[in-house]
């Protein structure tokens, strides 16, 4: 098994009930497997989130949820097919503005 | 003759002689510079020669709203405040909101230029085109909130709008700000410029209406703009209810919330103590700028300990400066420190960064209790942080050492303290650890005001917005092109017209120039195209660069602190990242190329001529740049 740290903020942290948690997955899991586990754990509220994830550069999508693996946006990786490793960190960035 | 958006007059005030004149706002000025920062930087370049003492009588202090200000346009009560900065020696330009900018238009002016120095403290009273110089001896020493109230009482009108300085500006602290209502032209020491002129305040009241060239077209353009704002996935309700503190959580997740003077970014989780829920628990209301349907300013009341009862609007940057930067997780102390900064008239970013800098020096033994007036100045000591704020404002004890920013303080301290001074060109770094957001780093290095997030904010890196293109925040390739785009679009569509910059990333990342052209054309009758709008952004950035080149700035000043260039982040979402010297050089090369500047970062004669900046081209040629 591998352990992946999952970070989130705002509406997604509200669904998870925390802004940081560790999820265990079988060796060789991909990002899509992590989303499956989260969907099973949190049900419909997470399914709605899953539909809003920005997955490919080609998508014309200005404000979806950005997903980062070890700090890098998954659109620069293999999207949901990206392989996960033990100790990886995944961050769900809800639409935010300001600064 | 300008048909709309402009009041047609620029007010020029000479404090030395206590005289004033009115000049016409010309179509040439409007078409080429729009207003706001464009007007301010044009006047600064033309009227403040190289080598002028920023705190001397020959520096000028310019207040310039834009054509949209005071009209029915949403989020447009903004104003540029411009002078040569005493903190950086470069262009000092800040924007502020609230009600003062609109009131200056209602009083009949597109800009106010302050010259000279009053013999003794005074304040200006601009009342519907009548200008008077009033004694301010009794106001000298008051905080900015009391000053505003006393002037309203003296003049007998509670609807007067006032921009003023506090004790920090009077004492010419190079991190002093100018406060209007609860808003600030916060950075680059513009409050010190005002203090050096013995000008305590500017009071304004007006009853004129801003003309509109084509009422029907403007109404339609405004409707389109409001529709786009309503479609934003962030503006309503998230940003309207939370404001900028939501960025604490975003930057934490990305591993770029600067912590402990940037020595421990990614190693501290601020979400529970400084995040949205903590902020919401102190929220008692909201404040609007004139004609703003968003009202992002969240009024917060400190509720614990010695800070109980302090009321303020700490934005993300303030939470970074007094929180992450100092390692303080006590939100009430941050609210109180923010309030104190507003009262003293002091930039909360520079003040917090200076305190965090001193904390690191203390922990490293470079300074000791003998230097800090006996205070144990460790990271996380919120009481020490809070007490130091007023000492800085009043230049008392150890505070005096920090009152002119970290660059000056490091030079006075010696002992290699500069290594820990987080600034570019003297301006303290805002709250994005650029090691994990490299376009932000390039913008800090090249912004004409120093390390200024507001001049070329790379929203692509922080919010993941793929406009004008998708951006990998860790890459350095392409960041020259992106930074030029960010700087020019923000200048053109926010700093000049003038418009709240939050709309750029939250509502108009893909079509800001189009919206701006739409609004300005119907308002002014000047028929701007989106391409012309973008070119104005480029023109203003080039003129500001020419001012800085004339002051002696070169490529070597487009730099980043040593820590950014040598220390990779140890933990968090940007672990392992830093900007190497080679990466910075490559980004600068690309940036200068995209700008049409020389490899030394000097605008070429051809570039300046292409932008219609003949005067700047001539001046740079004359000095052999």
Closest to B541 in 3D by CA, of B625, B480, B456: B456
Residue B75 pLDDT exceeds 70: yes
In a domain, A78, yes or no: yes
Alpha helices in B464-501 (DSSP H): 479-490
| pLDDT tier, B415 (very low <50, low <70, confident <90, very high otherwise) | very high
Q: Which of A60-69, B157-166, B382-391, B494-503 has the lowest mean pLDDT?
A: A60-69
> Do B541 and B448 form a contact (C-beta atoms < 8 A)?
yes
C-alpha B532/C-alpha B514 separation (Å) is 10
Residue A97 pLDDT exceeds 90: no
| pLDDT tier, A51 (very low <50, low <70, confident <90, very high otherwise) | confident
Q: What is the mean pLDDT of chain A?
A: 93
> Do B180 and B98 form a contact (C-beta atoms < 8 A)?
yes
At B8 the pLDDT is: 98
Nearest residue of A to residue B272, measured between CA atoms: A19
Instruction: Give the pair of three-digit tokens for residue B240.
Output: 């309207």
> Nearest Cβ partner of B253 from A54, A91, A98?
A91
Nearest residue of B to residue A91, measured between CA atoms: B253
- From A40's Cα to the closest Cα of chain B, the distance in A is 24
- From A3's Cα to the closest Cα of chain B, the distance in A is 16
Return the SS3 of B182.
Answer: coil
| pLDDT tier, A54 (very low <50, low <70, confident <90, very high otherwise) | confident
| pLDDT tier, B198 (very low <50, low <70, confident <90, very high otherwise) | very high
Q: Provide the residue range defining the domain that includes A73.
A: 2-93
At A60 the pLDDT is: 60
Instruction: Give me the mean pLDDT over the B331-360 stretch.
Output: 98
In a domain, A99, yes or no: no
C-alpha B609/C-alpha A7 separation (Å) is 51
C-alpha B151/C-alpha B158 separation (Å) is 9
> Nearest Cβ partner of A63 from B233, B243, B275?
B233
Instruction: Give me the mean pLDDT over the B98-119 stretch.
Output: 98
- From B463's Cα to the closest Cα of chain A, the distance in A is 6
Instruction: Give me the mean pLDDT over the B597-618 stretch.
Output: 98
Express each pLDDT in B248-305 by its tens digit.
999 999 999 999 999 999 999 999 999 999 999 999 999 999 999 999 999 999 999 9
- In DSSP notation, B313-361 reads ---HHHHIIIIITTT---HHHHHHHHHHHHHHTB-HHHHHHHHHHHHHH
Express each pLDDT in B21-31 by its tens digit.
999 999 999 99
Instruction: Give me the mean pLDDT over the B609-623 stretch.
Output: 97
Number of independent structural domains in chain A: 1
Interface contact flag, A99 B247, Cβ < 8 Å:
yes
Instruction: Give me the mean pLDDT over the B482-508 stretch.
Output: 97
CATH 1.10.599.10 range(s) for chain B read 434-560+580-622
Residues in A touching B269 (Cβ below 8 Å): 20
At B322 the pLDDT is: 98
Instruction: Give me the mean pLDDT over the B500-529 stretch.
Output: 96
Instruction: Give me the mean pLDDT over the B351-368 stretch.
Output: 98
At A61 the pLDDT is: 57
At A62 the pLDDT is: 56
Beta-carbon pairs below 8 A across chains A and B:
115
Closest to B459 in 3D by CA, of B470, B451, B450, B449: B470
User: What order do you get walking across the sheet with B311-312 strand by strand?
Assistant: B283-287, B297-301, B311-312
C-alpha B171/C-alpha B404 separation (Å) is 10
ipTM > 0.95, yes or no: yes
Instruction: Give me the mean pLDDT over the B449-473 stretch.
Output: 93
In a domain, A98, yes or no: no
| pLDDT tier, B244 (very low <50, low <70, confident <90, very high otherwise) | very high
C-alpha B447/C-alpha A44 separation (Å) is 46
At B338 the pLDDT is: 98
Instruction: Give me the mean pLDDT over the B373-385 stretch.
Output: 98
CATH 3.60.9.10 range(s) for chain B read 9-205
At B564 the pLDDT is: 98
Instruction: Give the pair of three-digit tokens for residue B532.
Output: 């012309």
Express each pLDDT in B327-340 by its tens digit.
999 999 999 999 99
Residue A10 pLDDT exceeds 70: yes
CATH class in words for B243-422? mainly alpha
Q: What is the mean pLDDT of chain B?
A: 97
A16 contact B CB<8A: no
Q: Which of A52-61, B157-166, B338-347 has the lowest mean pLDDT?
A: A52-61
Closest to B12 in 3D by CA, of B70, B84, B64: B64
At A99 the pLDDT is: 72
Closest to B325 in 3D by CA, of B252, B282, B379: B379
At B208 the pLDDT is: 98
Q: What is the CATH number of the domain that holds A50?
A: 3.10.20.30
CATH H-level superfamily of B9-205: Aldehyde ferredoxin oxidoreductase, N-terminal domain (3.60.9.10)
Nearest residue of B to residue A53, measured between CA atoms: B464
Residues in A touching B459 (Cβ below 8 Å): 97, 99
CATH class in words for B434-560+580-622? mainly alpha
> Nearest Cβ partner of A19 from B232, B271, B463?
B271
Instruction: Give me the mean pLDDT over the B50-60 stretch.
Output: 98
Residues in A touching B233 (Cβ below 8 Å): 63, 95
Express each pLDDT in B139-173 by its tens digit.
999 999 999 999 999 999 999 999 999 999 999 99
CATH 1.10.569.10 range(s) for chain B read 243-422
């Amino acid at each position: 098994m591998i352990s992946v740290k999952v970070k989130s903020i705002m509406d997604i942290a509200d669904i998870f009930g925390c802004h940081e948690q560790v999820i265990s997955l079988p060796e060789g899991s991909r990002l899509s497997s992590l989303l499956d586990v989260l969907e099973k754990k949190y049900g419909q509220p997470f399914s709605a989130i899953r539909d809003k994830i920005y997955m490919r550069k080609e998508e014309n999508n200005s404000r979806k949820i950005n997903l980062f693996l070890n700090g890098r946006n998954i659109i620069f990786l293999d999207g949901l097919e990206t392989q996960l490793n033990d100790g990886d960190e995944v961050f769900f960035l809800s639409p935010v503005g300001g600064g | 003759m300008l048909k709309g958006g402009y009041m047609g007059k620029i007010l020029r005030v000479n404090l030395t002689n206590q005289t004033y004149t009115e000049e016409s706002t010309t179509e040439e000025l409007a078409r080429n510079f729009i207003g706001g920062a464009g007007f301010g930087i044009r006047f600064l370049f033309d009227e403040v020669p190289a080598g002028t003492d920023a705190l001397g009588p020959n520096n000028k202090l310019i207040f310039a709203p834009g054509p949209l200000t005071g009209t029915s346009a949403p989020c447009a009560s903004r104003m540029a405040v411009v002078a040569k900065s005493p903190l950086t020696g470069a262009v000092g330009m800040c924007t502020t909101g609230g009600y003062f900018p609109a009131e200056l238009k209602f009083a009949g002016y597109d800009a106010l230029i302050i010259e000279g120095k009053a013999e003794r403290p005074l304040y200006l009273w601009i009342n519907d085109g009548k200008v008077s110089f009033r004694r301010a001896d009794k106001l000298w020493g008051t905080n900015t909130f009391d000053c505003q109230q006393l002037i309203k009482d003296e003049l007998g009108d509670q609807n007067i709008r006032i921009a003023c300085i506090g004790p920090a500006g009077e004492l010419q602290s190079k991190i002093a700000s100018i406060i209007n209502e609860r808003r600030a032209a916060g950075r680059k020491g513009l409050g010190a410029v005002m203090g050096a002129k013995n000008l305590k305040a500017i009071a304004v009241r007006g009853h004129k209406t801003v003309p509109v060239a084509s009422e029907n077209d403007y109404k339609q353009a405004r409707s389109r703009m409001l529709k786009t704002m309503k479609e934003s996935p962030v503006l309503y309700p998230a940003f309207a209810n939370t404001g900028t503190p939501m960025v604490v959580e975003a930057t934490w997740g990305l591993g770029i919330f600067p912590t402990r003077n940037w020595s421990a970014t990614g190693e501290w989780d601020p979400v529970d103590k400084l995040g949205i829920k903590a902020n919401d628990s102190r929220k008692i209301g909201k404040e609007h700028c004139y004609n703003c349907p968003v009202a992002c300013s969240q009024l917060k009341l400190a509720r614990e300990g010695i800070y109980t009862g302090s009321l303020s609007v700490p934005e993300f940057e303030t939470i970074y400066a007094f929180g992450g930067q100092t390692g303080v997780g006590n939100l009430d102390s941050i609210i109180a420190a923010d309030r104190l900064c507003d009262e003293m008239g002091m930039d909360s970013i520079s003040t917090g960064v200076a305190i965090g800098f001193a904390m690191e020096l203390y922990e490293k033994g470079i300074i000791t209790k003998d230097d800090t007036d006996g205070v144990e100045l460790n990271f996380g000591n919120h009481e020490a942080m809070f007490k130091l704020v007023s000492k800085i404002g009043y230049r008392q004890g150890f505070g005096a050492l920090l009152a002119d920013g970290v660059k000056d303080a490091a030079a006075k301290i010696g002992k290699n303290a500069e290594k820990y001074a987080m600034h570019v060109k003297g301006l303290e770094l805002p709250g994005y650890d650029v090691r994990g957001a490299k376009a932000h780093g390039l913008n800090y290095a090249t912004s004409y005001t120093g390390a200024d997030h507001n001049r070329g904010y790379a929203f692509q890196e922080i919010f993941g917005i793929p406009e004008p293109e998708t951006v990998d925040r860790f890459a350095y390739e392409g960041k020259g092109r992106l930074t030029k785009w960010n700087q020019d679009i923000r200048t053109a569509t926010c700093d000049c017209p003038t418009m709240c910059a939050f709309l750029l990333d939250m509502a108009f990342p893909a079509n800001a120039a189009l919206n701006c052209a739409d609004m300005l054309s119907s308002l002014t009758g000047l028929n701007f195209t989106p391409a012309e709008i973008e070119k104005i952004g480029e023109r203003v950035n080039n003129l500001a660069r020419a001012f800085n080149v004339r002051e002696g700035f070169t490529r070597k000043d487009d730099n980043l602190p040593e820590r950014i260039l040598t220390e990779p982040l140890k933990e968090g979402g940007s672990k392992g990242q830093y900007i190497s010297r080679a990466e910075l050089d490559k980004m600068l090369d690309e940036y200068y190329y995209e700008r049409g500047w020389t490899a030394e970062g000097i605008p070429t004669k051809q570039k300046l001529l292409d932008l219609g900046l003949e005067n700047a081209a001539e001046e740079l040629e004359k000095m052999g740049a």
